[in-house]
A = this chain, B = another copy of it.
Amino acid sequence: MTDERVVLLTGGTGGAKLAAGMAQALPEGALTAIANTGDDIEIYGAYVSPDPDLVCFWLGGLIDERGWGLRGDTFAVMDGLRALGRDVWFNLGDRDLAWCMERSRMLADGATHGEALAALGGHIGLSARVLPMCEQPVRTWVSAGEDSDPIPFQEYMIRRRAVGPVHDVQFRGARQARPSEEVLRALKGASAIVIGPSNPIVSIGPILAVPGMREALAASPAPVVAVSPIVGGEVLKGPTADFMSHAGLPLSAAGVARCYEPLLDGIVADEPVGGLQLRQTDTAMPDAGARLRLAREVIAFARSLG
């Protein structure tokens, strides 16, 4: 296919790894990632956008081996805050902070989130586009564990260490949101749409909760393929099990497929799924080779459904 334009819906780690593989598998400029902004947080006078940034850092080959943040980053500012008595629960490296501060400045100067992210991405030489799912503030709040008051997602993940069970998930502000023009154009012009192996409820969920997003996926002529985040029957990272359980879905590729119904034309998973086109393959991405191999398989599978 000469004019391949793949759109990837993604949250953090799993989807970001697949994005890195896809960027390698595809011609320059052929990949557009639409990233969850429900985890965004304003802290330290900066605008932090964890999922879009993780995708950028993976795409730019800058991700640290700890799995978040910039490789080799230092933490002098966080150390400085701790020395001043601050409870530093949200850790951010110095260059990561600079990245987020620069986004804040651009936003204050009137840039859209999409424009700010594009400018930041340009400075690290990204060849793929990363788009925030929308320009309006959508914030994921979670009620979980013993204290069932809803709290912002990052506090649940970091302060509460994602202790379940999950009682409620809210995408605050979602009703007032809408996909940006760039997002709609990317979906409309896509030759394939891939839902990355991210948490279906709290990573992909906010994206699909933006009014008009499901409709835009359904209206796109492109086949829609999901990649199951469940590997060997388990979730490799994050609290997906608690959220699937809360949603009444089994922790399986079939459960993931059900979550995205009726959007999917096919699914990529390492286990059988009934009633849907399936590419059964090893979905683990422990290294660059595995990411590239899976990306190629996902793209070929989507192409076969087009």
Contacts and interface: CB of A to CB of B under 8 A. Distances in A.
B76 A94 contact: yes
Contacts of A99: 80, 84
Interface string A106-131: 00000000000001100100000000
A67 B76 CA distance: 21
| Dominant secondary structure of chain A at its interface with chain B | helix
Contacts of A120: 84
Contacts of A98: 76-81, 83-84
A198 interface: no
Interface string A84-114: 1110000000111111011011000000000
How many copies, total? 2
Interface of A: 44-46, 73-74, 76-81, 83-86, 94-99, 101-102, 104-105, 119-120, 123
A78 B74 CA distance: 12
A45 B48 CA distance: 13
A238 to B, nearest CB: 27
19 contacts: A44-B101, A45-B45, A45-B46, A45-B104, A76-B94, A78-B98, A79-B95, A79-B98, A80-B94, A80-B96, A80-B99, A81-B98, A81-B102, A83-B95, A83-B98, A83-B123, A84-B98, A86-B102, A86-B105
B123 A95 contact: no
A257 B104 CA distance: 46
